[in-house]
């Protein structure tokens, strides 16, 4: 059997049923283009992390002469905007919802509650009174 890489891209995987999303066809593992953009920003931020921290240390060092600090300012401006960690947005890994994220699981509160109700999250127990 001859497997061609171009043919593998034509397969369509089915995602699991998720609250808010029905049974749908998915071509990649990200929920939508907003999630793809966020992943791209995370990768770029991780790639340039060491360089950016070194240059920022030069910029904020008051002992150095102002000429060197100005050069560091110019260097930091050469980076792409998506390389800054401030542009990273926490999103739900399942639905790509930007608000109400439970940080420990990286899920929105809605999906987290649904999975917790059906014992799909280890270490989570419903609160009980009385």
**The pLDDT of residue 16:** 45
- The pLDDT tens digits of the residues spanning 1-59 come to 454 444 434 343 433 444 444 555 556 777 888 988 999 999 999 999 999 999 999 99
**The pLDDT of residue 5:** 44
CATH topology assigned to domain 90-124: Helix Hairpins (1.10.287)
**The pLDDT of residue 98:** 93
**The pLDDT of residue 127:** 82
Q: Do domains 30-89 and 90-124 have the same CATH topology?
A: yes
Contacts for 38 with CB less than 8 Å, ≥ 6 apart: 88, 89, 91
Task: State pTM to two decimals.
Answer: 0.67
Question: Across the chain, what does the average pLDDT equal?
Answer: 82
d(CA 108, CA 130): 29
Give the pLDDT band of residue 66 (cuts 50, 70, 90): very high
What average pLDDT does this structure show over 111-118?
A: 92
| Token couple for 82 | 């998506």
Give the pLDDT band of residue 67 (cuts 50, 70, 90): very high
d(CA 9, CA 46): 28
Q: Where are the domains of the chain?
A: 30-89, 90-124
Class for domain 30-89, per CATH? mainly alpha
Q: Is 101 in contact with 90 (CB distance < 8 Å)?
A: yes
**The pLDDT of residue 15:** 39
% of the chain exceeding 90 in pLDDT: 58
């Amino acid at each position: 059997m001859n497997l061609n890489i171009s043919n593998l891209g034509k397969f369509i995987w089915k995602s699991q049923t998720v609250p808010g999303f029905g049974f749908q066809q998915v071509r990649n593992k990200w929920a939508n283009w907003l999630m793809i953009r966020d992943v791209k920003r995370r990768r770029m931020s991780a790639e340039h992390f060491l360089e950016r921290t070194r240059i920022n240390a030069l910029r904020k060092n008051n002992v150095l002469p102002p000429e060197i600090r100005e050069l560091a300012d110019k260097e930091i401006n050469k980076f792409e905007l998506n390389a800054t960690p401030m542009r990273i947005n926490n999103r739900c890994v399942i639905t790509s919802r930007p608000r109400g994220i439970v940080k420990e699981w990286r899920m929105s509160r809605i999906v987290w509650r649904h999975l917790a109700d059906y014992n799909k999250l280890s270490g989570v127990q419903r609160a009980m009174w009385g």
